[in-house]
Structure 1
Amino acid sequence: KMKDGGCIINIASGAGMRGSPYTGPYAAAKAGMLNMTETLAIELAPKIRVNAVSPGPVVTEAFDKVLGAADAEQEIAATIPLGFLGTPDDIAHTVVFLSSSASRWITGRNILVAGGRTHRAYQYQQRLEEE
């Protein structure tokens, strides 16, 4: 344990929170990360806080390589209640908050930073649009 305390922030994913097609190994790894976050929060308290951040769709070079077209970005943005994809800064700001004394009473939690998007919300939205 650290002498003066500290924090650990894991980067997880919404995929680790519930099942999603074609993401089995990735989702399992992220679910394990979320469980490890909760376990370490108990084991390392009170000196070390442990939390996780689960980014939603974020515009990065990898995102552009995988999805490529601008219309793919618009399609995904349409599934997000706030209406746009995140940026690396959106995730960084959450990590900075969790690293600060402003979050001194938060441990063992996962913060989903996804503009309000969840897999379940997306499914309901699709159903409503189809009706």
Structure 2
Amino acid sequence: MKTYLIIGASSGIGKTLAEKLSSQGHKVIATYFEHQTENKKNLEYHHFDVNDSGGIDFLPEFLDGLVYCPGTINLKPFGRLQADDYLNDYKLQVVGFVNILNKALPALKKSKSGSVLTFSTVAVQSGFPFHAQVSATKGALEGLTRALAAELAPAIRVNAIAPSVTDTPLASKLLNSDQKKEANAERHPLKRIGSADDIASMAAFLLSDEATWITGQIHHIDGGISSIKN
């Protein structure tokens, strides 16, 4: 049995991953911000604001894995974006991750196979209109992922997953009608949008001992949209 900390696990991919790992018998410590979530077997939730740089009283002394899920999808024309838009996203998705990783590192270093996982987006390397804000922040996170993988090897592996649009509450504005879902599905070579389970399954694999020779990678789980033209 391993022990995992999942930041931002009250909905979507984070929640699906927390439930998947706990059902496999692992101990999962998870956090929520707005939506209080009930504890389950092997799964305990704590309220946590990633923008609060204070102490974390629920951080265990030993960790096998850290997963950082908080993110936003703010799609606007470049001309409508202000500097604070970028700074707010950067604070949430990069600075928040840095703060929690700094606090979790001592516990992760006690594991024989420590693993850290972040989430990017297919838009960073593919380039989509109206994605300047999200691509800038997630691009920084991808660079940080690779740098940390180099610095923390061989003790701790660091990877990221870059999904395409996934049917989660975070993407609800993009998928709030059957027409939008069909249009988004048609853009992908596999002709469907992703599910939270598609992404959580890859996340669980990257955290597991089956992935102990994988680090510093940005894994595109995206229905083929980043590499196939159809």
The TM-score range, normalised by the shorter chain, is 0.7 to 0.9
* Paired residues of 2:167 and 2:194 also in contact (CA < 8 A): yes
Distance between the aligned counterparts of 1:47 and 1:83, measured in 2? 39
CA shift at 1:4, angstroms?
Answer: 2.4
Residue 180 of structure 2 corresponds to 72
Unaligned runs of 5+ in 2: 1-104
* Corresponding residue to 1:3 among 93, 103, 110: 110
CA shift at 1:65, angstroms?
Answer: 3.2
Distance between the aligned counterparts of 2:171 and 2:154, measured in 1? 38
Distance between the aligned counterparts of 1:78 and 1:22, measured in 2? 19
Residue 123 of structure 2 corresponds to 15
What TM-score, normalized to structure 1? 0.85
Unaligned runs of 5+ in 1: 126-131
Aligned 1:48-59 pairs, distance under 5 A? 48-59=156-167
Coordinate RMSD, CA, aligned: 1.6
* Corresponding residue to 1:26 among 131, 134, 141: 134
Task: Determine whether 1:35 maps to 2:152.
Answer: no
Task: Determine whether 1:104 maps to 2:215.
Answer: no
CA shift at 1:60, angstroms?
Answer: 1.6
- If asked which structure has higher relative contact order (CA below 8 Å, sep 6+), I would say 1
What TM-score, normalized to structure 2? 0.50
Cα deviation code 1:73-93 (max 9, x no counterpart): 101101111111111111100
Residue 51 of structure 2 corresponds to none
Distance between the aligned counterparts of 2:200 and 2:191, measured in 1? 20
State, as a whole percentage, how many aligned pairs show the same letter.
33
Distance between the aligned counterparts of 1:19 and 1:64, measured in 2? 21
Equivalent pairs, count: 122
AA matched with 1:72: K
Residue 116 of structure 1 corresponds to 224
Cα deviation code 1:10-63 (max 9, x no counterpart): 111111224321111210111111111110000000000000001111112333
CA shift at 1:68, angstroms?
Answer: 1.7
AA matched with 2:121: S
Structure number having the greater helix percentage:
1
